[in-house]
Amino acid sequence: MKKDDSMVLDSIFFSVPALKILSGVYLELHHGTITALIGRNGSGKSTLLKIASGQIKANSGITMIEGKRIHSKSLRERFRRIGYLPQDSMLPGDIKVSRVMDRFPSIEAMISESKIGSSSNQKVNQLSGGERRLLEISILFSLDRDFLLLDEPFSGVEPKIVDLIIDSIRGEKDKGKGILLTDHMHRYVSEVADNGYLLHDRQCYHLGDDVAGELKKLGYLR
């Protein structure tokens, strides 16, 4: 794979007082590929995604997209190329679903198979956790960005909606998007991922193409 087709996080160091979280992390993300980021609780997965999306600033390290360095302050430039789904909900709870659907008309196709479409008069905080997650993912995918960073897209989501989310992630991959996915539901992640990284002991280790096999060897999957 050509390096200039990728989003690269290189030599990322991040620490908070008295705790080193990331120590020289390297990660590559390619177009048309789903990359899994696996790690235990508190290993720094969400921190790495926040750094990649410019939500927090690394102590040192660089982000490059297609060979061009993205400076830490240029959020606008960064978000021209990436979409970021944070671990916690990013939608205001007190707006109506219908207003969200008016603002993002293209999400209707994705959410039509769920119950969200029929509850458009409800407010966002009246949706179930899974429906809210699906709505957020639909918004993110409608933005048509080259790289998508998904932090726990399956958490608190029922299996039926997980299947919808997995289908749409695969759809984005087929459109040539590069997707970085992290979740504790390793079964779902390994099912959908083309390759992966393990975040362990403050560093990223490449897992290769057989993510499920590698995770079984390491004891992350039975």
> Which positions lie near another protein, rule CB under 8 A?
53-55, 75-76, 79-80, 83-84, 86, 88-93, 95, 103, 139-140, 143
At its nearest, how many Å lie between another protein and the CB of residue 147?
Answer: 12
With vertex at residue 194, the alpha carbon angle to CA 151 and CA 46, rounded to the nearest 5 degrees, is: 20
At its nearest, how many Å lie between another protein and the CB of residue 50?
Answer: 9
- DSSP string covering 143-190, please? T--SEEEEESTTTT--HHHHHHHHHHHHHHHHTT-EEEEE-S-HHHHH
At its nearest, how many Å lie between another protein and the CB of residue 9?
Answer: 17
Nearer to another protein, 103 or 170 (CB): 103
Nearer to another protein, 86 or 117 (CB): 86
Tokens of 164: 């919808």
Cβ atoms within 10 Å of 52's Cβ, excluding its own: 26
Instruction: For helices 159-174 and 129-142, give the axis angle rounded to 10 degrees.
Output: 10
Nearer to another protein, 169 or 212 (CB): 169
Nearer to another protein, 148 or 204 (CB): 148
At its nearest, how many Å lie between another protein and the CB of residue 78?
Answer: 8
CA 172 to chain CA centroid, Å, is 12
